[in-house]
């Protein structure tokens, strides 16, 4: 399959891991990472009621940044208040490593982004997202104030997996949040150990301001 095929199908193979991560999934198998969060303390998000951990245990690249105050939303999810960015052409590929996964289990992977003019440059970036060594999608930030989430279904053949941001020359890659959720193997039967699914959208036809999981 061509790397940027119009088909929303993703070939996913778990690559070798490079980072050492000590953080563990919670009792439900969830991994929820607040990218760019300083310190070592986790917190429960007021909007989603999920527990988020800092990302230092998952990557040793990049820098922590807070978004500009004008883009903060007191009633919104705290995960969008800060980002981890990966400046510099010397390291075009920057990865998060998720460990302590269950081999053969199916996972929903969600990557979240809100630019929020964190760097003060007002330059909206474009960069690529990979699962392991395989292309997932292109992240195209078109509005500094809008949060966007990208999702894929993967089957993990080993006990770890990498999610990588790749600088393609369109601006500095960054990320706000990264979530892993275990799924029943009966869901999304098209996904297997050699083929994953890129979710174009999951629609909520109920109240627009309600979180549904």
Is 210 inside a domain boundary? no
User: Percent of the chain beyond pLDDT 70?
Assistant: 76
Report if residue 104 sits inside a domain.
yes
The answer to whether position 144 is within a domain reads yes
Q: What is the 3-state secondary structure (H, E, C) of 83-110?
A: EEECCCCCCCEEEEEECCCCCCCEEEEE
Listed range (20-24, 91-95, 168-172) with the worst mean pLDDT: 20-24
Token pair, residue 162, equals: 């990498």
Strand partners, 32: 179
Q: What is the DSSP track for 118-136?
A: TTSS----EEEEEETTEEE
Q: Specify the pairing of strand 51-54 against strand 31-34.
A: parallel
pLDDT at 201: 47
The pLDDT tens digits for 170-212 are 999 999 999 999 998 888 777 766 666 566 545 444 444 444 4
Does some domain include residue 57? yes
Q: Which residues contact 21 (CB under 8 A, 6 or more apart)?
A: 57, 58, 97, 98, 99
In contact, 96 and 58? CB cutoff 8 Å: yes
Could you tell me which residue, 96 or 211, shows the higher pLDDT? 96
Number of independent structural domains in the chain: 1
- Buried-state track 83-96, b at ≥16 Cβ within 10 A, e below 16: bbbbbeeeebbbbb
Model confidence over 140-178: pLDDT tens digits? 999 999 999 999 999 888 889 999 999 999 999 999 999
| Average pLDDT rounded to a whole number, residues 77-88 | 94
Res. 9: pLDDT tops 80: no
Six-digit token string for 201: 């959208």
Range of the domain at 187: 31-198
**CATH number of the domain to which 65 belongs:** 2.60.120.260
Residue 27 has pLDDT above 50, yes or no: yes
35 found inside a domain? yes
CA 199, 201, 205, 211 torsion: positive or negative? Answer: positive
Output the pLDDT for position 203. 44
Asked whether residue 22 is assigned to any structural domain, the reply reads no
In the chain, the percentage of residues whose pLDDT exceeds 90 is 58
Report whether 197 contacts 12 (CB < 8 A): no
Average pLDDT value for the chain: 82
- The pLDDT assigned to 205 comes to 44
| pTM summary value | 0.81
Supply the pLDDT for residue 89.
59
Average pLDDT over residues 56-68: 95
- The confidence score (pLDDT) of residue 168 equals 93
**H or E element at residue 113:** strand 106-113
Residue 25 lies in a domain: no
Domain-embedded: residue 13: no
Which are the contacts of 88, defined by CB distance < 8 A and separation ≥ 6?
none
Tell which residue, 191, 129, 115, has the closest CA to residue 154.
Answer: 191
133 vs 14, higher pLDDT: 133
């Amino acid at each position: 399959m061509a790397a940027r095929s119009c088909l929303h199908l993703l070939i996913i193979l778990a690559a070798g891991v490079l980072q050492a991560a000590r953080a563990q999934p919670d009792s439900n198998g969830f991994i929820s990472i607040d990218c760019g969060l300083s310190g070592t303390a986790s917190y429960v998000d007021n909007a989603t009621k999920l527990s988020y951990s800092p990302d230092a245990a998952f990557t040793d690249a990049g820098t922590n940044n807070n978004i500009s105050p004008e883009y903060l939303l007191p009633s919104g999810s705290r995960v969008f208040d800060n980002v981890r960015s990966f400046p510099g052409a010397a390291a075009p590929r920057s990865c998060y490593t998720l460990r302590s996964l269950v081999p053969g289990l199916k996972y929903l992977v969600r990557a979240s982004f809100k630019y929020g003019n964190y760097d003060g440059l007002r330059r909206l970036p474009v960069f690529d997202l990979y699962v392991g060594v395989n292309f997932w999608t292109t992240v195209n930030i078109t509005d500094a104030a809008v949060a966007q989430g990208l999702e894929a279904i993967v089957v993990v053949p080993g006990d770890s997996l990498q999610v990588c941001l790749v600088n393609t020359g369109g601006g500095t890659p960054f990320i706000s949040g990264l979530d892993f959720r275990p799924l029943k193997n009966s869901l999304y039967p098209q996904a297997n150990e050699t083929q994953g699914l890129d979710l174009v959208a999951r629609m909520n036809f109920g109240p627009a301001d309600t979180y549904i999981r």
